[in-house]
Amino acid sequence: MAVLRVVLGDQLTREVAALDGLDPARDVVLMVEVADETRYVPHHKQKIVFILSAMRHFAEELKAEGIAVDYVRLDDPENTGSFTGELKRALARHAVERIVATEPGEWRVRAMMETWGAETGLPVEIREDDRFIASRGRFARWAEGRKGFRMEFFYREMRRETGLLMEEGEPVGGQWNFDADNRKPLPKGARLPSRLRFAPDAITREVMALVASRCPDHFGDLEPFGWAVTRPDALEALDHFITEALPFFGDVQDAMKRGEPFLYHGLVSPYLNAGLLTAREVCLAAESAYRRGAAPLNAVEGFIRQILGWREYVRGIYWHQMPAYAETNALGATRPLPWFYWSGETDLACIAEVVGDTRRHAYAHHIQRLMVTGNFALLAGIRPAEIEAWYLAVYVDAFDWVELPNVHGMVMFADGGLLASKPYAASGAYIDRMSDYCAGCAYDPKVKVGEGACPFNLLYWHFIDANAGKLKGNPRMAMPYKTWEKMEAGRKAQILEEAEAFLDALSPEPTRPAAKAGQMALDI
Ligand code: FAD
Ligand code: DLZ
Ligand code: SF4
């Protein structure tokens, strides 16, 4: 029985479930570049290039193996622009008896796949995506009966089950988590490793030209493009990280520095998410560096926890809670997204720096995402759907299953505390401690109110005040509420007044017409 096997743009591995049992003599693999996927948010140009170029390279690898690949390009004049439209067109080209796919990474696409049987009249098998360490069923078993989820407890179970950094049933070093060691700012004069970049080959250059002509209004710089688009190059990038950066990853994992978006981070998320690397091999490579004495335990544990803990945990939450998860708005946030998230044009130096890094590289590291652009969105009460669409658009690694829980739950507390026990709200003092951003800013992180006050300081107390009804009872928020209550009434009134004035001045529209060029507004 001939089978049409569908492979999506983030399923680029020979091990993907849809290819299990493939018969090269009869089966056809379908891969499609579709306009719907390139524009449902204004993806960063480098993100589109990464996905389409990696898809084209993967299709070539399959063909080299003697597998029939029906590959539909974005510029095919007959292209209908949708997954379902292209599936139907493909069925007219191939005599197949059934369709096999791997479950996608987005609830939206999963719902679309559910219609394929009725749309085509053929049996459709949607296989579990077994690239994750914890299956959806495994996470559901862990989650069952729990009121609130906490990553740390899930992570310990994953450590026990995989044996990663374990010795005779106990965590190596006698401790599960070395996070407390990993919060130092970058020391002066720290040597930063140069990062591997991959010069675009002919396939990538062709995709870059396509994206330049089709998506000129999308966010971000198209060049220089240096991401790996094949598994061998992604493996080389991993190897480079393990030897050059992992040994220093731990201590300064939360640090930020002007002009240095990458510091000692892994830069592996796009490869993991698209299928070029597996979570297991990345964790094993880090563990092996520890075992041979090439990297310290706090660095290796910290790195493995991000993947075995956070990555698996947010994916579990996504499928366990969707679709209702995306609809909650526990703090009732409604403010539109300020335009400077797209333009980077703001006198808040930290935001300008992170948006600038994001425009240049389609990358910002975790603390930039959480404590700068995320913290601002939380404190300013941005509508969750708007800030989620921004994160989904601007990062090369952004797919709904991972972006949504991070933004909706971790950043915006829109799930009311299901994913994290308290909001990650912070004043300017945090950014000042962990970065050198404030030195070049129009504001002063030490000034709490009045002339030159850092907007994060004003917005922090405004947030505390505005959400007292919802957060005051949270034991982990007791300290800020105590401080706020003790503050002198006149000072409180001044803070709130200045914060309101700042918020009123935020504009969701470009403040000058030329600023719109090269950007695309969201229409949600
Ligand atoms: P490293 O710092 O080297 O970490 C190693 C790996 O751990 C990452 O590659 C990633 O696979 C994993 N990881 C780390 N933190 C998380 C996390 N919180 N959730 C899931 N995986 C994690 N990650 C994405 O892959 N896609 C996203 O769309 C995404 N959106 C985010 C949005 C916000 C608001 C925040 C706070 C975090 C988001 N993250 C996302 C998680 C994290 O920021 C990125 O995975 C990381 O910055 C990628 O860079 P790296 O490979 O250098 O990471
Ligand atoms: C993000 C993206 C883009 C830009 N383009 C495509 C594409 O042309 N073809 C494709 O198969 N996938 C693409 N993707 C990824 C999808 O939007 C979606 O995130 C995944 O299929 C997971 O559901
Ligand atoms: Fe950001 Fe405030 Fe520091 Fe300026 S002073 S960089 S706004 S934290």
Q: Look at residue 420 and tell me if it is in a domain.
A: yes
98-102 and 124-127 strand pairing: parallel
Q: Kindly give the pairing relationship between strand 170-171 and strand 98-102.
A: unpaired
Residue 335 within any structural domain of the chain: no
What is the rounded distance in angstroms from the CA atom of residue 74 to the CA atom of residue 298? 45
Sort strands 170-171 and 166-167 into parallel, antiparallel or unpaired: antiparallel
> Domain containing 272 — which CATH number?
1.25.40.80
Contacts of 474 (CB under 8 A, 6+ apart): 417, 421, 422
Distance from Cα 83 to the centre of ligand 2, integer Å: 9
Cβ 105 under 6 angstroms from ligand 2:
yes
**121 and 140 part of one domain:** no
Residue after which a domain boundary falls, among 293, 321, 349:
321
Structural domain range at position 299? 136-321
Tokens of 436: 């050198």
Ligand index nearest the alpha carbon of residue 388: 1
Instruction: Answer yes or no: are the C-beta atoms of 347 and 441 closer than 8 Å.
Output: yes
Dihedral over alpha carbons 286, 288, 289, 294 (to 10 degrees): 160
* Cβ contacts of 83 within 8 Å, gap of 6 or more: 32, 34, 36, 37, 109, 112, 113
Residue 332 lies in a domain: no
329 in a structural domain: no
User: What confidence score (pLDDT) does residue 183 get?
Assistant: 81
Report the distance separating Cα 150 and Cα 331, nearest Å.
Answer: 20
167 and 86 within one domain: no
pLDDT of residue 323: 97
Residue 328 lies in a domain: no
Residues comprising the chain, all counted: 524
The Å distance, Cα 436 to ligand 3 centre, comes to: 10
Which atom of ligand 3 is nearest the CA belonging to 442? Answer: 4
Cis ω on the peptide bond leading into residue 323 (within 30° of 0)? yes
- Residues 407, 377: Cα–Cα separation, whole Å: 10
For residue range 208-248, list pLDDT tens digits in order.
Answer: 999 999 999 999 999 999 999 999 999 999 999 999 999 99
Determine the Cα–Cα distance for residues 346 and 440; give it in Å rounded to an integer.
13
Looking at the fold, whether 310 and 413 belong to one and the same domain comes out as no
Angle at 486 between CA 482 and CA 489, to 5 degrees: 135
Q: Same structural domain for residues 201 and 296?
A: yes
pLDDT 10s per residue in the chain (524 long)? 899 999 999 999 999 999 999 999 999 999 999 999 999 999 999 999 999 999 999 999 999 999 999 999 999 999 999 999 999 999 999 999 999 999 999 999 999 999 999 999 999 999 999 999 999 999 999 999 887 899 999 999 999 999 999 999 999 999 999 988 778 889 888 899 999 999 999 999 999 999 999 999 999 999 999 999 999 999 999 999 999 999 999 888 899 999 999 999 999 999 999 999 999 999 999 999 999 999 999 999 999 999 999 999 999 999 999 999 999 999 999 999 999 999 999 999 999 999 999 999 999 999 999 999 999 999 999 999 999 999 999 999 999 999 999 999 999 999 999 999 999 999 999 999 999 999 989 999 999 999 999 999 999 999 999 999 999 999 999 999 999 999 999 999 999 999 999 999 998 888 654 444 444 444 43
User: What is the value of pTM for the model shown?
Assistant: 0.96
Q: Which helix (H) or strand (E) holds 93?
A: helix 83-93
State what percent of residues in the chain have pLDDT above 70.
Answer: 97
**Shortest-distance Cα residue to atom 49 of ligand 1:** 267
Q: What is the CATH number of the domain that holds 484?
A: 1.10.579.10
Pair of tokens at residue 340: 């400077």
Under 8 Å between Cβ of 499 and 461:
yes
Pocket test for ligand 2, best of 5, 10, 48, 71 (most atoms within 8 A of CB): 10
Regarding the beta carbon of 42 and ligand 2, being less than 6 Å apart is answered: no
Q: Which of 488, 487, 426, 424 is nearest to 460 (CA)?
A: 426
Looking at 104, 127, 150, the residue that finishes a domain is 127
Q: Which two tokens stand for residue 5?
A: 């096997």
Domain with residue 62: its CATH number is: 3.40.50.620
Q: Are residues 229 and 279 in the same domain?
A: yes
My answer on whether 142 and 121 are in the same domain is: no
* Residues 441 and 459 reside in one and the same domain: yes
The answer to whether residues 88 and 96 touch, using CB atoms and an 8 Å cutoff, is: no
Domain assignment of residue 43, yes or no: yes
Whether 396 is in the pocket of ligand 3, judged by its Cβ within 6 Å, is: no
CA-nearest residue, atom 7 of ligand 3: 348
Q: Tell whether 264 is covered by a domain.
A: yes
Structural domain total, the chain: 3
Alpha-carbon gap, residue 376 to 380, rounded angstroms:
6
CA 77 – ligand 1 centroid, Å: 37
- Nearest partner of 278 among 239, 235, 328, judged by Cα: 235
Which listed ligand is nearest to 34 at the C-alpha? 2
Same-domain status, 391 and 248: no
Q: How many CB atoms lie within 10 A of CB 450?
A: 11
Please give the distance, rounded to the nearest whole angstrom, from the Cα atom of residue 380 to the centre of ligand 3.
15
User: What are the φ and ψ backbone dihedral angles of 294, each rounded to 5 degrees?
Assistant: -90, -10
Residue 59 belongs to some domain of the structure: yes
Atom 9 of ligand 2: nearest residue by CA position = 33
Distance CA 29, CA 262 (A): 36
Ligand 2 centroid from CA 88, angstroms: 18
- Contact between residue 40 and residue 299 where contact means Cβ atoms under 8 Å apart: no
| Same domain flag for 263 and 392 | no
Q: Rounded distance, CA 298 to CA 124, Å?
A: 46
Same domain assignment for residues 364 and 305: no
| Distance in Å from the first CA to the final CA of the chain | 44
CB 57 within 8 A of CB 229: yes
pLDDT one-digit tens code per residue, 13-66: 999 999 999 999 999 999 999 999 999 999 999 999 999 999 999 999 999 999
Residue whose tokens read 């300017």: 428
Ligand 2 centroid distance, CA of 109 (Å): 9
Domain end among 321, 351, 381: 321
Based on the fold, state whether residues 518 and 470 are members of the same structural domain. Answer: yes
Spatial neighbors of 375 by CB under 8 A, at least 6 apart, are 411, 424, 425, 426, 430, 431, 456
Are 114 and 194 in a shared domain?
A: no
